[in-house]
Amino acid sequence: MLKMTWDYNAYATELPELFRDVFTASEGKEEGAVISALVGDLLETTDRDDLHAAIADDGPPVLGCILFSRLRFDQDPRQVFLMSPVAVRTDCQKAGIGQRLIAFGLDGLRRDKVDFVVTYGDPNYYGKTGFFPISEKVAQSPLPLSHPHGWLGQSLTGTEMAPFKGPSHCVSAFNKPELW
């Protein structure tokens, strides 16, 4: 039976392996190693208030996970999180788990009074869950984007999107140009 949880501590040793396996299968061994290292770094170095994880499991195996880390804007009081990375086990893909994880994660962030979520990925996939393309005039990325068309956002408050004020800052694990 599929279960969703926010408690990533119970899965801290499994998550880097999950992301390595998923990204190796889709993007190659090098990308799998990079994303696995990123996940390990996020889990080890990010303050609990600045990191959330939506996790799907079916008994012992983790089927999927999405990490959400805080994104700060110098002169803006709104709470913003970055949804990245996202992984669903390769043998469980195309079953709606990723979409359910996104919905679960966004609902949890709404309860925590988060105003906006950004992600960096495929507009066709993330558009299915309410994300829309944004420009850096709306929300400046912390580092230069290699694929600006993949910069996406979603308001969690239902209010009209106003540009964020000031430069943005990500958590230290994401503060690497090669990730952007």
Q: Rounded to an integer, what distance in angstroms lies between the CA atom of residue 116 and that of residue 134?
A: 12
What was the pLDDT predicted at 1?
Answer: 63
C-alpha dist (Å) from residue 7 to 76, 151, 162: 29, 28, 32
pLDDT of residue 6: 77
Could you tell me the two tokens for 66?
A: 């999405």
CATH at 163: 3.40.630.30
**pTM of this structure:** 0.94
**Within 10 A of 1 (CB to CB), how many other CB atoms are there?**
5
Q: How many domains, the chain?
A: 1
- Using 70 as the pLDDT threshold, list the residues of the chain that sit under it: 1
Mean residue pLDDT of the chain comes to 93
Q: What is the pLDDT of residue 9?
A: 82
Domain around 55: 3-179
